[in-house]
Amino acid sequence: MTTIREAVADGLPVDGRVVLAVSGGLDSMVLLDAAAHAADRARLIVATFDHGTGRHATEASELVVDRSRSLAIECRPGRASRSLRSEADLRAARWGFLRHIARTECAPVCTAHTASDQIETVLMRILRGAGARGLAGLNAGDARRPLLAFTRVALERYAAARRLAWVEDPSNASPRFLRNRVRHDLLPALRRVRPSIDEELLMIGREAARWRTEMESLVDREIGLIQHDGGVALDVLAASLDGRSAAELSALWPAIVARVGLALDRRGTRRLTAFALDGRVGSRVQLSGGWEVTRSREHFQLRRISAVVDGVAQTLTPGASVGPWEFRMAEAPAPTVDLWSASLPSDRPLSVRAWHAGDTIAAHTGARPSKVKHCLSAAGVTGHARRGWPVVLAGDDIVWIPGVRRSEEATARSGWPGLPFVCENRSR
């Protein structure tokens, strides 16, 4: 039988550093002790987070710092900057701290979750009506969990044999938290009437994780995805979803949006499925957490709503930017065929902003103006890209829609002393 130390040794990366999430409780102190004796200690970073929930939280963090020092392992303590009360708030703050260290060190996070935690998690997900993706529980995600095959009882035996110290969090007994009610009331009652419940819940988690992995592979093979803005925005090729049933789309969408770290609930999955089946070009649907999906001609575009560019004008100078678009001076007048370049008037103040509804551009003085919206649509610019697209003004008149259209005033011609500018999209 694999021992705890062997499991931890096998669960750590073969090279590079690793971040150990150590709270000061029983499970994480076992992880720290086992890792200290199973790996090169110079590769370990202990991360401990004080949730600010009381004296016991501070004592636990101090215990981790002291124990790490005695083991000659680097320790990085953190503390909540505001009052945290709900389980979701506590978890979000802790994981935000851990992921920050992991990104800084380019290292994975290793947690002390056990089979007992997985049993509770799967049951809680069932109670909340989670789908197959959510029922994978702790078998999913990027964190390493080398103790997931061991029960809490096995860790108690290890801690006793090693005479380890830990701090018992009094909130672990509070019925205010769902996990505690599941641990102390619901699971014991279920075990009395169904002794096999633990193994059945673990099996559900394993099968759901296998299904989740298969869905991820299916998305890789068959769905066209383009990530933008450092991976926090996503375009989904509409053609790769065409002809799929509602059931197929309901399984695919959670795996698709997970690529930008978004977790869909049932309501969000239903809304996206219906949108994929019926959404018209230019229409959009909002999701929880400040996300939005817009239908363009070729893509479903997933973005954070807060990331959409506003329409406040700024003076056009070299280095000015609107969202991902940046402007710079060119060395020569703009080529007539290159709509990403312009020779701008020098006799009026120049400014740039995102376009507004109702904006128009005229080909030349006296010509009938065209709506910017129609110009963008004709050029195939729709969805989120259209919402933030820049326009350049000379005085009060729009003279250039970069990449789309220029007025005569922004086009290089003989004897025209225009200011040569180029617009570049930094996200491409």
- At 415 the pLDDT is 58
- Structure-block tokens of residue 391: 């326009």
- Structure-block tokens of residue 74: 């680097």
In CATH, which superfamily holds the domain spanning 4-208?
HUPs (3.40.50.620)
pLDDT band at 212 (very low <50, low <70, confident <90, very high): very high
pLDDT band at 307 (very low <50, low <70, confident <90, very high): very low
Given a cut of 90, whether residue 149 has pLDDT beyond it is yes
Concatenated DSSP letters for 109-147?
A: EE----HHHHHHHHHHHHHTT--HHHHTGGGSSSSB-TT
Angle between the N-to-C axes of helices 55-70 and 26-38, in degrees from 0 to 180, rounded to the nearest 10? 10
- At 332 the pLDDT is 67
Q: Which residue has the higher pLDDT, 161 or 348?
A: 161
Q: Name, in order, each residue with C-beta under 8 angstroms of 85's C-beta and a sequence gap of 6 or more.
A: none
The model's pLDDT over 85-132, given as tens digits with 9 standing for 90+, comes to: 677 778 888 888 998 899 889 999 999 999 999 999 999 999 988 888
Query: Quick one: average pLDDT of 417-425?
Result: 83
Query: Quick one: average pLDDT of 282-292?
Result: 82
Given a cut of 80, whether residue 323 has pLDDT beyond it is no
pLDDT band at 43 (very low <50, low <70, confident <90, very high): very high
Given a cut of 80, whether residue 308 has pLDDT beyond it is no
Q: Which CATH number fits domain 223-307: 3.30.465, 1.10.10, 3.10.620, 2.60.200?
A: 3.30.465
pTM over 0.85: no
Tell me the torsion sign for CA atoms 259, 260, 261, 264.
negative
Given a cut of 70, whether residue 425 has pLDDT beyond it is yes
Query: Quick one: average pLDDT of 72-89?
Result: 83
Across all residues in the chain, what is the average pLDDT? 88
138/202 Cα distance (integer angstroms): 10
- Give the least confident one: 140-144, 168-172, 371-375: 168-172
User: In the chain, where are the structural domains located?
Assistant: 4-208, 223-307, 314-425
Query: Quick one: average pLDDT of 167-188?
Result: 88
- At 82 the pLDDT is 73
Q: Which residue has the higher pLDDT, 87 or 202?
A: 202
